Amino acid sequence: MSVPTRIFLIGYRGSGKTTVARLLAPQLQFDWVDSDQEVERRVGKSIAAIFAEQGEAAFRELETEVLVELCQRERTVVALGGGCIIRTQNRELIATAGPAVWLTAPVHVLGDRLQEDTLTPSMRPDLTPTGGQREIEIILQERIGLYRQSATWEVDTEDKSPAEVVAAIRLKLDLDC
């Protein structure tokens, strides 16, 4: 397989999308971008602030606007926000723009990673009243079918270093590691 024009990384928060994009892109001589960071940059606010001030619907609209633009970029690894696959329009855009690699991990691993991330509380809003590990279970249950539908490939990140995840993606792309 030849290297695609762009590669999307999808999955729940804490699955490693941004870290993997940052490592994979230079190996492919690609740029990389995190769609959530791009939304924050354009609006000048954190996602948590956007949710608090404008609501989730406004954030999802901004997310789609950014995705439309990212789908036009060449030679780019795109780390998508965990909820980007919620909208049908976004899933259709991803499907036509390049392969999507679903980075997975068990709920307890995602929970541990998010707890260790000091930026999570200020940058990422709770998506349910419960927060924490129960929130991960609830949201994953809602999204798992959408991730599966959107994914070209799945890579389990549990017990793998970011470099090992990158190597697994390169294998999926049939590239020498």
pLDDT tens digits for range 123-176: 555 555 466 778 888 889 999 999 999 999 999 999 999 999 999 999 998 765
Asked if residue 35 is part of any domain, the answer here is yes
Nearest to 9 by CA among 169, 174, 173: 169
Check if the beta carbon of residue 143 is closer than 8 Å to that of residue 86: yes
Domain total of the chain? 1
Asked if residue 57 is part of any domain, the answer here is yes
Asked if residue 132 is part of any domain, the answer here is yes
How many other β-carbons are positioned within 10 Å of the β-carbon of residue 165?
23
Asked if residue 32 is part of any domain, the answer here is yes
- Confidence at residue 125, expressed as pLDDT on a 0 to 100 scale: 56
Would you state the structure tokens that stand for residue 62, as one six-digit string? 């901004």
pLDDT in tens, 107-138: 888 888 877 765 555 455 555 546 677 888 88
Asked if residue 71 is part of any domain, the answer here is yes
- Residue 98's domain is classified under what CATH number? 3.40.50.300
Asked if residue 38 is part of any domain, the answer here is yes
Half-sphere exposure (Cβ direction) of 55: Cα atoms closer than 13 Å: 3
Would you state the structure tokens that stand for residue 53, as one six-digit string? 């001030």
Asked if residue 177 is part of any domain, the answer here is no
Check if the beta carbon of residue 125 is closer than 8 Å to that of residue 47: yes
Query: pTM of the predicted model, to two decimals?
Result: 0.89
Domain residue limits at 31: 6-172
Asked if residue 1 is part of any domain, the answer here is no
